[in-house]
Structures are given as C-alpha cells and as structure tokens.
Amino acid sequence: DTGVSQNPRHKITKRGQNVTFRCDPISEHNRLYWYRQTLGQGPEFLTYFQNEAQLEKSRLLSDRFSAERPKGSFSTLEIQRTEQGDSAMYLCASSPFPKTGLRTDTQYFGPGTRLTVL
C-alpha cells in the first residue's frame, strides 16, 4: 500500500494558463475526493467520485475547474485560465468501498499539489 500520491507536488504558472493535476488513490479505494486549502484554513471540499462517476460538486468549483476519473482509478483536476485567487494547496483523498467493516467516510489524503499563480 503506497498511499495516495499526487503529481506534481508544486506548480508555478502565469495567470491565464491552464494547469492539470493528477491523483492516484489507494488501490482498493473506490471513492476519490478533491479539496482546496488556503493558508490558515482547513481543506474545503471541491468534488468527489465514486468509481468513474462524479457524484457531487461544490459551489467552489467554478466552470474553469473540471475533474475527471475516466477509468475509476486515477483522477485529474484541470484549472483553465488560472487566476491569482486559484493559488492554494490542492489535496486529493480516497476512501474505501462501502461494505461491512469499511467506512467510506474515513478519508486518506495525499501530499497535495501546491499551485502558485503569478
């Protein structure tokens, strides 16, 4: 079990550019979540998938943000036309399939991708 991995760990981009982040969840976990964290705050929910289906999106997820999980394994989060306000840590988490003995609400986080928009 290698845990949740995220790439890249750091991304610096210029305003107006598009960026894409990748998350690889724990292998047996079928739920995958994206959060955003700004300085001095706790993580804020953006969206989540169960397998390949995107089940919920936060109002924080503007139309410049899109997330995919095409094969129900890794996920990508793309931000188009980045703005300085998008600068944050983007966190991915995963949780196991809902069945006896496993709680779907126990989420395990990756190391995050730190985005800086200049």
Using CB under 8 A as the binding rule, the residues of this chain from 42 to 81 that contact another protein are: 42-45, 48, 56, 58
Q: b vs e for 74-86, b when ≥16 Cβ sit within 10 Å of the residue's Cβ?
A: bbebebeebeeeb
Type of residue found at 88: A
Query: What Å distances lie between residue 91 and 44, 62, 102, CA to CA?
Result: 9, 17, 22
Q: Are 24 and 82 in contact (CB under 8 A)?
A: no
Choose which of 7, 54, 66, 108 interacts with another protein (CB under 8 A). Answer: 108
**Which CB sits closer to another protein, 56 or 78?**
56
Q: Are 16 and 102 in contact (CB under 8 A)?
A: no
Regarding 96 and contact with another protein (CB under 8 A), the answer is no
Regarding 106 and contact with another protein (CB under 8 A), the answer is yes
Using CB under 8 A as the binding rule, the residues of this chain from 1 to 20 that contact another protein are: 4, 6
Regarding 32 and contact with another protein (CB under 8 A), the answer is no
Provide the binding-site residues for another protein, judged by CB under 8 A. Answer: 4, 6, 33, 40-45, 48, 56, 58, 91, 93, 103-112, 114
